[in-house]
């Protein structure tokens, strides 16, 4: 990896939760940050503020990462600003809404796969075209434990999409290892982020908390610390792994 200048991290879904926490902790470790967001401009500005308070540089870019042209614009703006992309964190994702399997319509299924899978495909492919000639890079995909347990709580569509993210992670790791690019993933468990505010009732949260062996829900910072590990030289011999971070649940 390039050590001649500050390494550059592109984070999708960088305006809140895990994306924002990852931007902050990576900035504290000396990385320059590009935070992509779709609608939460206020959150993106907060990310920029946190990064700059940590003493690093931050570019925020509005982009819908399910649209190829906007992804290309995002990568171009990143390269124009910093000249390189050393690490990509594919964090953008959403459950859209909870639904029993028999009530899932095509629109919900396709939208879920667009935001969780198509985004990873488009951004990874575009960034890899830059990483391959440099023979250097890291990709970190944010998946979910839901991929392994099937999405209880009316979220089969989301769980299966994250299963596809896991497959992409392993497949990309094998195809691009020869180019000096390491691809890994993280499967968060029950993490208290704006995601839960949107998709979980308080009753559901109260029901889940006692089932977590470590005794608490996870935080965005818990996941961000693992993102920082995978971005670091400590993970030089890791590829194709999906690291579960769930407090033992």
- List of domains in the chain: 8-245 (3.40.50.720)
Start-to-end Cα distance in the chain:
35
CA–chain centroid gap for 166, Å, is: 12
Q: What pTM was estimated for this model as a whole?
A: 0.94
Q: Assess whether pLDDT exceeds 50 at residue 206.
A: yes
Q: Is 48 left (phi over 0), alpha (psi -120 to 50) or beta?
A: alpha
Quick one: average pLDDT of 52-62? 98
Span 73-82, pLDDT tens digits: 999 999 999 9
> 237 an active-site residue?
no
User: What pLDDT is recorded for position 1?
Assistant: 39
Span 23-33, pLDDT tens digits: 999 999 999 99
Contact 23, 231 (CB under 8 A): no
Q: Assess whether pLDDT exceeds 70 at residue 49.
A: yes
Contact 23, 51 (CB under 8 A): yes
Contact 61, 123 (CB under 8 A): no
Catalytic residue among 31, 37, 113, 158: 158
* DSSP string over 94-155: ---S---GGG--HHHHHHHHIIIIIHHHHHHHHHHHHHHHHT-EEEEEE--THHHHT-TTT-
Quick one: average pLDDT of 47-62? 98
Mean pLDDT rounded to a whole number for the chain: 94
Q: How far apart are CA 127 and CA 71, in angstroms?
A: 9
Helix axes 156-176, 119-134, angle to 10 degrees: 10
């Amino acid at each position: 990896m390039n050590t001649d200048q500050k390494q550059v991290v592109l984070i999708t879904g960088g305006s809140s939760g895990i994306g924002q926490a990852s931007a902050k902790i990576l900035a504290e470790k000396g990385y320059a940050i590009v935070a992509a967001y779709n609608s939460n401009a206020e959150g993106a500005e907060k990310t920029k503020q946190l990064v700059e308070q940590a003493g690093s540089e931050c570019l925020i870019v509005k982009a819908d990462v399910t649209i190829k042209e906007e992804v290309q614009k995002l990568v171009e703006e990143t390269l124009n600003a910093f000249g390189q992309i050393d690490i990509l964190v594919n964090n953008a994702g959403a459950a859209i809404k909870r639904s029993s399997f028999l009530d899932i319509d095509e629109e919900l299924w396709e939208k879920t796969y667009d935001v969780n899978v198509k985004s990873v495909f488009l951004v990874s492919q575009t960034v890899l075209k830059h990483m391959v000639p440099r023979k250097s890079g890291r990709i970190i995909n944010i998946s979910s434990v839901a991929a392994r347990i099937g999405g209880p709580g009316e979220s089969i569509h989301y769980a299966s999409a994250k299963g596809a993210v896991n497959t992409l992670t392993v497949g990309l790791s094998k195809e691009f290892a020869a180019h000096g690019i390491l691809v890994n993933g993280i499967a968060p468990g029950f993490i208290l982020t704006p995601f839960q505010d949107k998709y979980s009732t308080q009753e559901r949260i109260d029901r889940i908390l006692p089932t977590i062996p470590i005794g608490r829900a996870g935080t965005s910072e818990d996941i961000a610390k693992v993102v920082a590990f995978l971005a670091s030289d400590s993970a030089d011999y890791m590829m194709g792994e999906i690291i579960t971070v769930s407090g033992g649940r």
